A and B are shown apart, each in its own frame.
Chain A
Amino acid sequence: MEPVKDISGRAAPAPLPAGNRKKRAGQLVFHITTAGLAIILLYPVIWLIASSFKESASIFATSHSLIPDPLILSNYTEGWKGIAGQPFITFIKNSLIIVGLSTAGAVLSSAFIAYGFARIPFKGKAFWFSCMMVTMMLPHEVLMIPQYIIFAKLDWLNSFKPIVVPQFFGHAFFIFLMIQFIRTIPVELDEAAKIDGCSRLGIFFRIILPLIAPALATSAIFSFYWKWEELINPLLYLNKPELYPVSLALKLFLDTETASNWGAMFAMSVVSLVPVILVFFVFQKSIVQGISMSGLK
């Protein structure tokens, strides 16, 4: 956790006891309000987790309580058996394939493109740069229908290709973030390498890429989130349950919702959030930095 600077920047030399007490009281009010707010905000998530350990029949009868009584694990074993003839592990495997390929493609291609924009002067750069910024603001809906038609004509339906392949052509948000990062690296480093006989490709792989590792990590983390949670593209392109990622499998649980499978649906919802929350707590520093630096998301 990075230290937060006090507004005044320094502590008062020798606070009087009265002032001290006032400061204590202020601290107490701060902690009570913020902690209270945090509990209210996260209550639904805690409730979801608690409910996943309750019997399906009692989830809504005891919706005011966070304590499962009796505490059972059968929702997890039941949900893990899967849905539509597929074990849940299949959905996780599909999600991991989509996320892995998309992330590798998006991060690498974005780094390449960012280097071109940040370091190499060429004609028409401003034009292409503004094209890139525009794609960041373009509504997906405008592209969704023709893209669907194109991928259908290519016979790519019911494969991961329509979801994964476009990621290999750079992602505007990541490119922007990496450009910001590359600009903080002194150009003298590139020039020194050039004098030593390093080619552009060599400079990119040996100097730039290692130095922008934090931006690569941030991009990879965001790509992981977006692709793990993505619903609309899998919904459009995948119609066979054996190809479903976790997000679509959860939708399937919801579609076939009955009073007896609430528990399993809740349990698998929790399972789907575990990797996201885990990645978040492990990498929160680079996430916070990425957002603060680019001012985006």
Chain B
Amino acid sequence: MVVLLKFCWILVVVNALTIGGGYVMLPMLQKELVEKYHWITNQEFLDAIAIGQVTPGPLTVMNAFIGYKIHGLSGAVMAMISSYLPCIIIVTLVAKFYYAYKDSIIVLSTFRGIKAAVVGLLGAVAISLGHTSLVDLPTFGIAIIGFVVISFTRIDPTFVIIGAGLLGALIY
């Protein structure tokens, strides 16, 4: 029970700070869930990102997957509630005061700093996850091909991940 409440609180804080896209969650989630509390491993965290990507809807769905691993069905449901609650509160407030909020120097400049910092944070997370997932030549190859295909073609990342799963089944 204590674990579930702690987990929910982390998700509330993380989602309230997810500025500029779902991937902003990743550095915060990895620190709290993998490194600090050891509720899941780096490999499970990678699985969760993949699941968030191949399932329809936003990446946030990965939190339901992690929630189930930590605390069963109630963990999954509570994970989704905690992830969306801050969004609902903030968005409805902003919708009310949109015209005041839109041109607010405070909001714009705060977000500008955060968005730039997030690029660096994600870089650090990629290194940490790379220690787990890049173990030999084929995994390096898959990562590089994945990077090139997703960056420079219009192919959906969902297919890249499914394709990589098939490749993994063939190689190993």
Q: Do A and B come from one complex?
A: no
> Which B residues lie at the A interface, using CB under 8 A?
none
